[in-house]
Amino acid sequence: MPRPGGGPMSLRAESVTAGWRRGHPVVDDVDLTVEPGGVLGLAGPSGCGKSTLTRVLALLHAPWSGTVTVGGEPVHRYRFGAPAALRRRIGVVFQSPRASTDPRLTLDRIVAEPLRAAGTPDPAVTARVDEVADLVGLTPELRTRHPHEVSDGQLQRACLARALAPEPDYLLCDEMTAMLDASTTAALVSVVADEVTGRGLGVLAVSHDEPLLGAWAGEVVRPWSRVRP
């Protein structure tokens, strides 16, 4: 099994079984550990359970059994019941930026969402949004636009900035680059890599693109011998 151990600062799934319809698990008895300061690749074909496991680790979907720990703290509640302090430690970027953003908001407001939800004072929100927008290559003009006025790549840049804005300890990238061109993929992977080396971010990179994971991740795991469709 992949990396069943893990230090006290890791994001860890232990013996996790999860799914969407009782009696038909998508993820079955899987162990996974995301360590600080590194990129763990999670590989597998579409439909094998990668996204379900990612949602469990993001505290967005409760497992049927098993344990998730965040920095050594066991998680007992998920979704809106999960403690805000734990949720803020985990950033997520999903495959489809359009499905994960509010079309009524400008990119600037999208990036600011988690900071405002945490009650961050306005001057600090403005400063941090400026910082992460510059980090991902969002120009001031782009930041005034709405999702329908930008490309998928530009919107995904905003989604990555939103995930990084609260300075999470862990970042889960669920097929983050699947809908992007090669240049945007390279740019966003570089941003994430800089966060890993610069401040010790722990990353789970989820993809069916084996060459990308091979270049991006320090280790690639495929725990799907214990996953049923």
Residue 75's domain is classified under what CATH number?
Answer: 3.40.50.300
Domain of residue 59, residue span? 1-89+172-229
Q: What is the pLDDT of residues 136-163, one digit of tens each?
A: 999 999 999 999 999 999 999 999 999 9
Could you give phi then psi for residue 28, rounded to 5 degrees?
-125, 105
Tally the domains of the chain. 2
pLDDT in tens, 175-201: 999 999 999 999 999 999 999 999 999
Other CB atoms within 10 Å distance of the CB of residue 187: 17
Same domain membership, residue 85 and residue 3: yes
* pLDDT, mean over the chain: 91
The pLDDT tens digits of the residues spanning 49-91 come to 899 999 999 999 999 999 999 999 999 999 999 999 999 999 9
The CA–CA distances, whole Å, from 215 to 39, 74, 154 equal: 11, 32, 23
DSSP 6-37: --TT-EEEEEEEEEEETTEEEEEEEEEEE-TT
Phi, psi of 99 (to 5 degrees): -75, -15
The whole-angstrom separation of Cα 194 and Cα 215 is: 15
Q: Is 158 in the same domain as 185?
A: no
